[in-house]
Amino acid sequence: MPTKSKFAEIICTQNLVMEFLAVSQQAAIACHPWIGRNDKMGADGSGTKAMRNRMNQINMSGVIVIGEGEMDEAPMLYIDEKLGTGLGPDVDIAVDPVEGTNLMATGKDNSLAVIAVASRGCLLHAPDMYMKKIAVGPKAKGVINIERPLIENMQAVAKALGKEVKDLTVMIQERPRHNELINEVIKAGASVKFFSDVDITGAIATAFDECDVDMLVGTGGAPEGVIAATALKCLGGDFQAKLIPQNQEEIDRCISMGLSNPENVLTIDEIVKTDDCFFVATGITDGMLLKGLKRKEQGSLLAHSLVITGGKMKNTQFITGSFSVDSHF
């Protein structure tokens, strides 16, 4: 077993990062035939199968710590599923083979394949359930508190960004459960940027000035929260969350996975307990951060991906690659 310092070098090697980039690309390409076919189950199944197959080729001992499936819901990438050859670093993996399945199935923008990876024991291990979230970019790191009223967080973020509250743009998913948050933002004189699905993109957008998003707030899936927190950890942003169990069964499931107080506030450093982590995503359809798959001459596809690494390899890259439709990497 490598030492901690040696392990940090292994987890963030360029080779391992590029292996996972190939995973997200393979999953996205597998989904391409399903775009606009109104069959989200078929699309999700293809993306999941491609992602699993490619990850099992990587020299690692990987475990899915949070995802969209449980063991009895295969073929989803289920929680506690083991992946890789077993001949490499021990890693935690959080995945969404098709983030924005409904969007992709109906030919709409903002669907992508995403993965977050960290050294073993460093990503939040939790069930697939609802999570309350607040996300900001690096300039507002350290000023948010998910237990305070939204207006107080808006005031703190505005001060950190050198803005007036009325100049803030807050990204919120367009759902009835968010009506109170939406009304608070509008009452404060700020702007709401609505989205229908894919809060990972919205959270990460807070770290890119060109996206003109200052905060993301709302309730969404826990797997997406862990993935977004990993990206923001690498980017120097901030993220806080609270799991929202819907019943006693979900509470018991949290406790069995080591979360003795499931509704406690989770800081970014509790969700992602190391800087030695990375995030990869490949666009399926066009989105705020990534272009979707584009068909080229002779049947090849052009894929646009984002790679964000933390630790000693801290870096952000947008990568474009051309692949044959039947590419197996």
Q: What is the pLDDT of residues 181-207, one digit of tens each?
A: 999 999 999 999 999 998 999 999 999
Binning pLDDT at 50, 70 and 90, where does residue 8 land? low
Q: Note the pTM of the prediction, 2 decimals.
A: 0.93
- The whole-angstrom distance between residue 91's C-alpha and the CA centroid of its chain comes to 16
- Binding residues for Mn(2+), by number, are 44, 68, 96, 99, 224
Overall residue count recorded for the chain in this entry? 329
- Domains detected in the chain: 4-122+276-324 (3.30.540.10), 130-271 (3.40.190.90)
- The predicted pLDDT at position 326 comes to 60
Q: Cα(6)–Cα(35) distance, rounded to whole angstroms?
A: 42
Give me the helix-helix angle, 179-187 and 150-161, nearest 10°: 50
Strands 215-221 and 238-244: unpaired
- The predicted pLDDT at position 116 comes to 98
Backbone phi and psi for residue 195, each to the nearest 5 degrees, phi listed first: -145, 155
- Binding residues for substrate, by number, are 99-101, 130, 175-177, 197-199, 221
Give the tens place of pLDDT for each residue, 233-287: 999 999 999 999 999 999 999 999 999 898 899 999 999 999 999 999 999 999 9
Binning pLDDT at 50, 70 and 90, where does residue 77 land? confident
Q: Cα(228)–Cα(203) distance, rounded to whole angstroms?
A: 6
- Binding residues, by number, are 44, 68, 96, 99-101, 130, 175-177, 197-199, 221, 224
Quote the DSSP letter at residue 78: B
Which amino acid would we find at residue 132?
Answer: K
Instruction: List strand residue ranges (DSSP E) for 48-190, in order.
Output: 61-66, 82-83, 90-99, 112-119, 130-136, 169-173
